Amino acid sequence: MRNLINPFIKITVLAFYLVGCTAMAVAPPAETSDSKKKKAEETPEMVAEAKAKVFSRSDVSVANGEKRFNQTCVYCHGHQGSGGKARKLQGRDLDPDYLFKTITRGKKRGSLIMPPWKRSFNAEQRWELVTYILTLSEMK
């Protein structure tokens, strides 16, 4: 009986050892996940770069912004920003940087809450929304 058990135990120990080694080899080193985090972070330089790019091709940007607005924002802000569950965006003299910041961080008025959009849209996409909202300033 002893002869049968001993090899079994040896194999079990060996198996655990191998699993442990594999787990250590597969687990990503702390460094990698750190640099990943940094990559996802949005620096002011990246935001400025995205702004310049988006404003330099404003026709395309407004069109993209309008499309996205109609998909995501219209539910609360109404058709062409005519208002609804939030203040209307038409006929307003809104500052581009204020618009970008507000879209990025979200906004709250009383019990009405707009979530932040930073996770859903990258800087370029948010600037495109800004260019579209700016076109609404001519409307009443």
Q: What residues make contact with ligand HEC under the rule CB under 6 A?
A: 69, 72-73, 75-77, 85-87, 99, 102-103, 107, 109, 112-114, 117, 129, 133
Closest to ligand HEC by CB, 41 vs 93, is: 93
Task: Copy the structure tokens of residue 79.
Answer: 């058709």
Closest to ligand HEC by CB, 16 vs 109, is: 109
Residue 65 CA to residue 11 CA, distance in Å, equals 62
Q: How far is the CB of 49 from ligand HEC (least distance, A)?
A: 20
Q: Of all helices (H) and strands (E), which one includes residue 83?
A: none
Give the residue ranges of DSSP H helices in the chain.
2-26, 30-40, 44-56, 58-72, 74-77, 96-105, 123-135
Closest to ligand HEC by CB, 32 vs 71, is: 71
Residue 12 CA to residue 7 CA, distance in Å, equals 9
Q: How far is the CB of 12 from ligand HEC (least distance, A)?
A: 56
CA 118 to chain centroid, in Å, comes to 4
Q: How far is the CB of 54 from ligand HEC (least distance, A)?
A: 14
CA 36 to chain centroid, in Å, comes to 15
Q: How far is the CB of 66 from ligand HEC (least distance, A)?
A: 11
Closest to ligand HEC by CB, 5 vs 129, is: 129
